């Protein structure tokens, strides 16, 4: 069955870089797109960016200068790196899958990232 699972540090210091991994199973990264979506505590959802099935990436312009998404298809993993973290980057980070249309039937469990010294 389709599964996605985020992993990474729960705590990041301000101004440091966040590195998260999304490990997928049940489908191929060369057939589906993987997106990153985040949610501050008690707030709404924000689309961050995506890795397309063909290796192309696109980013939310609000985060583009700080964000990088990459993948390792041999390990079934998609990576998120975001630098210059601030306290308002605290939240739950999800990876999620889409096909041609960017709606999300499959989500990871999410990983809580706290930015604090």
Binding flag, residue 91, another protein (CB under 8 A):
no
108 binds another protein (CB under 8 A): yes
Contact 38, 99 (CB under 8 A): no
**Distance between CA 11 and CA 113 in Å, rounded?**
6
Single residue of 1, 54, 61, 74 touching another protein by CB under 8 A: 61
State whether the Cα torsion 46-50-61-104 is positive or negative. Answer: negative
Q: Coil, strand, or helix at residue 6?
A: strand
Question: Pick from 60, 72, 85, 114: which binds another protein (CB under 8 A)?
Answer: 60
Judged by beta carbon, residue 43 or residue 65, the one nearer another protein is 43
Among 56, 88, 103, 117, binds another protein (CB under 8 A): 103
CB of 60 to another protein, least distance (A): 5
Binding mask of the shown chain, residues 67 to 86, with x at each position contacting another protein by CB under 8 A: --------------------
Report the b/e string of 24-53 with b at 16+ CB within 10 A.
beebebeebbbbbbbeeeeeeeebbbbbbb
**Interacting residues toward another protein by CB under 8 A:** 35, 43-47, 58, 60-62, 94, 101-105, 107-110
């Amino acid at each position: 069955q389709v599964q996605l699972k985020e992993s990474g540090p729960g705590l990041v210091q301000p101004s440091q870089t966040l590195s998260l991994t999304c490990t997928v199973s049940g489908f191929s990264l060369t057939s589906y797109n993987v997106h990153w979506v985040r949610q501050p505590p008690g707030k709404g959802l924000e689309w961050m960016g995506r890795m397309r099935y063909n290796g192309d990436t696109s980013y939310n312009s609000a985060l583009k200068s700080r964000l990088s998404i990459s993948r390792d298809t041999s390990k079934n993993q998609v990576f998120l790196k975001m630098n210059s973290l601030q306290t308002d980057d605290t939240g739950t980070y999800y990876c999620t899958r889409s096909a041609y249309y960017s709606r999300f039937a499959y989500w990871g469990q999410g990983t809580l990232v706290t930015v604090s010294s």
